[in-house]
């Protein structure tokens, strides 16, 4: 079951470039997750699965970037 989520961006002028990249990945994940929900509701299971996988990949990338950023101490 897919649960809807939305990323809310606060003020991008006060954050670093790496944080902006992370937010863009999270935004892409949110878009693909929403598309997956629509396809799932329409019974288009292959398209839903493809978008769910893309959403997960973007979440994984954002998570990896955040961990690396924390390890460096930026």
Which bin fits 19, alpha (ψ -120 to 50), beta or left (φ > 0)? alpha
Residue 64's domain comprises: 17-72
**Residue pair 21/74 in contact by the 8 Å Cβ criterion:** no
pLDDT for res 34 = 94
pLDDT for res 70 = 86
Give the total number of structural domains in the chain: 1
**Residue pair 35/49 in contact by the 8 Å Cβ criterion:** no
Is 47 within a domain? Answer: yes
Is 9 within a domain? Answer: no
Q: What is the pLDDT of residues 14-45, one digit of tens each?
A: 678 889 999 999 999 999 999 999 999 999 99
Is 44 within a domain? Answer: yes
Among residues 51, 74, 2, the alpha carbon closest in space to that of 21 is found at 74
Q: Is the pTM of this model over 0.85?
A: no
**Residue pair 18/66 in contact by the 8 Å Cβ criterion:** no
pLDDT of 7 above 70: no
Percent of the chain surpassing pLDDT 70: 80
Is 10 within a domain? Answer: no
Q: What is the pLDDT of residues 45-69, one digit of tens each?
A: 999 999 999 999 999 999 999 999 8
């Amino acid at each position: 079951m897919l649960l809807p989520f939305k990323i809310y961006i606060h003020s991008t002028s006060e954050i670093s470039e790496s944080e902006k990249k992370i937010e863009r990945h999270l935004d892409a994940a949110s878009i693909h997750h929403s598309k997956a929900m629509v396809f799932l509701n329409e019974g288009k299971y292959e398209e839903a699965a493809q978008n769910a996988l893309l959403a997960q990949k973007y979440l994984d990338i954002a998570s990896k970037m955040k961990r690396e950023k924390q390890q460096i101490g930026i």
